[in-house]
Chains A and B, each alone.
Chain A
Amino acid sequence: MGFLVFLFWACVTLAAAIALAWGFRKLAAAVTKGEMHRALRDAPLTASFGMMVIAIYLIVAILAPVIAPYPERMIVSTQFQPWTAEHWLGTDALGRDMFSRMVYGTRNTVGIAFATTALAFLIGSVLGLLAATVGGWLDQGLSRLVDVFMAIPSLIFALLLLTIFGTSILTLILVIAVIDSTRVFRLSRAVTEGVVVMDYVEAARLRGEGLVYLITREILPNVTAPLVAEFGLRFCFVFLAISALSFLGLGIQPPTADWGSMVRENATLITFGDITPLLPAGAIALLTVAVNFVVDWQLYRASGLKE
Chain B
Amino acid sequence: MSDKDILLDIKGLKIEGKAGDDWLPIVNGIDLTLRKGEVLGLIGESGAGKSTIGLGAMGFARDGCRISGGQILFDGIDLRKASADKLRRLRGKRIAYVAQSAAASFNPAHKLMDQYCEAPVRHGVMSRAEAEHDAVELYRKMQLPNPEEIGFRYPHQVSGGQLQRAMTAMAMSCRPDLIIFDEPTTALDVTTQIEVLAAIRDIVEQFGTAAIYITHDLAVVAQMADRIKILLRGDEIEEADTRTMLAQPKHDYTKSLWAVRSFQRETQAAPEGQPVVSVRGVSAAYGPVRVLDDVSFDIYARRTVAVVGESGSGKSTAARVITGLLPPIEGEVLFEGKSLPADYRQRTRDQLRHAQMIYQMADTALNPKLTIRKLIGRPAQMYLGLRGKALTERIRELLHLIEMEPDDFIDRLPSELSGGQKQRIGIARALAAEPRFIICDEVTSALDQIVAEGILRLLDRLQGELDLAYMFITHDLATVRAIADDVVVMQQGRVVEQGTKAEMFAPPHHPYTELLLSSVPEMDPDWLTHLLEKRSKQGMPAPGAI
Which chain B residue shows the least CB distance to A305? B63
* Nearest CB on B from A118, distance (A): 23
Task: Spot the interface stretch: A140-148, A196-204, A235-243.
Answer: A196-204
Among B43-51, B157-165, B359-367, the one that faces the other chain is B359-367
Contact status A221-B367, CB under 8 Å? yes
When C-beta atoms are compared, the residue in chain A nearest to B369 turns out to be A221
| CB of A218 within 8 Å of the partner chain | yes
A276 to chain B, nearest CB (A): 48
CB pair A203–B370 under 8 Å, yes or no, is no
Tell whether A206 pairs with B367 under 8 Å between CB atoms, given A199-B359, A199-B361: no
- The size bracket of the interface on A is 10 to 19
Q: Is the CB of B364 within 8 A of A199?
A: yes
Enumerate chain B residues within 8 angstroms of A203, measured Cβ to Cβ: 357, 359, 365, 429
Residue in contact with A202 in the complex, picked from B325, B370, B429, CB distance below 8 Å: B325
**Which residue of chain A is the closest to B320 with respect to CB atoms?**
A202
| A195 CB, min distance to chain B CBs, angstroms | 9
CB-CB under 8 A from B474, the residues of chain A are none
Contact check, A222 vs B368: say whether CB atoms are below 8 A apart: yes
B318 to chain A, nearest CB (A): 15
Q: Is the CB of B367 within 8 A of A200?
A: yes
In the complex, chain A residues whose CB is within 8 Å of the CB of B344: 205-206, 208
In the complex, the answer to whether A207 meets B359 with C-beta atoms within 8 Å is no
Docked-complex contact A208 and B369, CB < 8 angstroms: no
Give the Cβ gap from A196 to chain B, nearest Cβ, in Å: 12
Are B367's CB and A208's CB within 8 A? no
Q: Which residues from A are CB-within-8-Å of B378?
A: 207
Most B CB contacts (10 A, CB to CB) among A202, A208, A218 go to A208
Residues of A within 8 A of B153 (CB): none
A217 interfacial by beta-carbon distance below 8 Å: yes
Q: Are A208 and B357 in contact (CB under 8 A)?
A: no
**For the complex, is B349 an interface residue (Cβ under 8 Å from A)?**
yes
**B367 contacts A207, CB within 8 Å?**
no
A206 contacts across to B, CB distance below 8 A = 323-325, 344, 352, 357
Beyond A203-B357, A206-B352, A207-B433, whether A218 also contacts B367 by CB under 8 A is yes
Across-interface contacts of B370 in A (CB, < 8 A)? 217, 221
Closest A residue by C-beta to B375: A200
B349: A residues at CB distance < 8 A: 208
Interface string of B353-393 (1 = CB under 8 A from A): 00001010100111111100010001100100000000000
Other-chain contact of B364, A198, A207, A208 (Cβ < 8 Å): A198
Query: Which residues of A (186-232) have their CB < 8 Å from a CB of B?
Result: 198-200, 202-203, 205-209, 217-218, 221-222
If A199-B359, A202-B325, A203-B429 touch, whether A208 touches B352 (CB-CB below 8 Å) is yes
Residues of B within 8 A of A200 (CB): 364-367
Q: Which of B359, B366, B369, B433 has the most CB of A within 10 A?
A: B369
- The docked-state distance in angstroms from the alpha carbon of A200 to that of B414 is 12
**In the complex, residue of chain A having the shortest beta-carbon distance to the beta carbon of B63:** A305
A217 to B366, CA, bound (A): 12
C-alpha spacing A217/B377, complex, angstroms: 13
Q: Are A207 and B379 interface neighbours, CB within 8 A?
A: yes
| Complex-state Cα separation, A208 to B433, whole angstroms | 12
Cβ contacts under 8 Å, A221 to chain B: 367, 369-370
Chain A residues whose C-beta falls within 8 Å of the C-beta of B374 in the assembled complex: 217
**Shortest CB–CB separation between residue A64 and chain B, in angstroms?**
39
Instruction: Please give, as numbers and ranges, the residues of chain A lying within 8 Å of B324 by CB-CB distance.
Output: 206
| Closest beta carbon of chain A to B438's beta carbon, Å | 12
Residues 25-58 of A, flagged 1 when their CB comes within 8 A of B and 0 if not, give: 0000000000000000000000000000000000
Chain B residues contacting A209 (CB-CB under 8 Å) are 382
The answer to whether A208 and B361 touch across the interface, beta carbons within 8 angstroms, is no
Output the least CB separation between B47 and chain A (Å). 17
A222 neighbours in B (Cβ, 8 Å) = 367-369
A160 to B489, CA, bound (A): 66
Q: Could you say which residues of chain B place their CB within 8 Å of the CB of A218? A: 367
Q: Which residue of B lies closest to A199 (CB)?
A: B365
Separation of A218 and B433 alpha carbons in the complex (Å): 18
Q: Point out which of A202, A209, A222 has the most chain B C-beta atoms below 10 A from its C-beta.
A: A202
CB-defined contacts of B347 to chain A, threshold 8 Å: 208
**B367 / chain A contacts, CB cutoff of 8 Å:** 198, 200, 217-218, 221-222
Q: Which of B294-353 contact A (CB under 8 A)?
A: 323-325, 344, 347, 349, 352
Max chain A Cβ within 10 angstroms of own Cβ: one of B325, B367, B368: B367
B98 → chain A closest CB, angstroms: 27
A208 with B366, Cβ < 8 A, contacts A199-B359, A202-B325, A203-B429 known? no
- A contact residues around B382 at 8 Å (CB): 207-209
Q: Closest Cβ of chain B: how far from A70's Cβ, in Å?
A: 50
CA distance A207 to B381 in the complex (A): 11
- Bound complex: CA A184 to CA B489 (Å): 49
Cα distance A221–B368 in the bound complex, in angstroms: 9
**A202→B429 CA distance, assembly (Å):** 14
- Residue in A206, A209, A218 with the greatest tally of chain B CB atoms within 10 Å: A206
Instruction: State in angstroms the CA–CA spacing of A205 and B343 once bound together.
Output: 12
A209 to B381, CA, bound (A): 12
Can you show 14 pairs from A to B with CB atoms below 8 A apart? A199-B359, A200-B365, A200-B366, A202-B325, A203-B365, A206-B323, A206-B324, A206-B352, A207-B378, A207-B379, A207-B382, A208-B347, A221-B370, A222-B367
Known interface pairs A198-B367, A200-B367, A203-B365; 17 further A-B residue pairs with C-beta atoms within 8 A, sorted by A's residue number: A199-B359, A199-B364, A199-B365, A200-B364, A200-B366, A202-B325, A203-B429, A205-B344, A206-B323, A206-B324, A206-B325, A206-B344, A206-B352, A207-B382, A208-B347, A221-B369, A222-B369
A contacts, CB < 8 Å to B: 198-200, 202-203, 205-209, 217-218, 221-222
Q: Nearest 7 CB-CB pairs, A to B? A: A221-B369, A199-B365, A200-B367, A199-B364, A199-B359, A208-B352, A198-B364
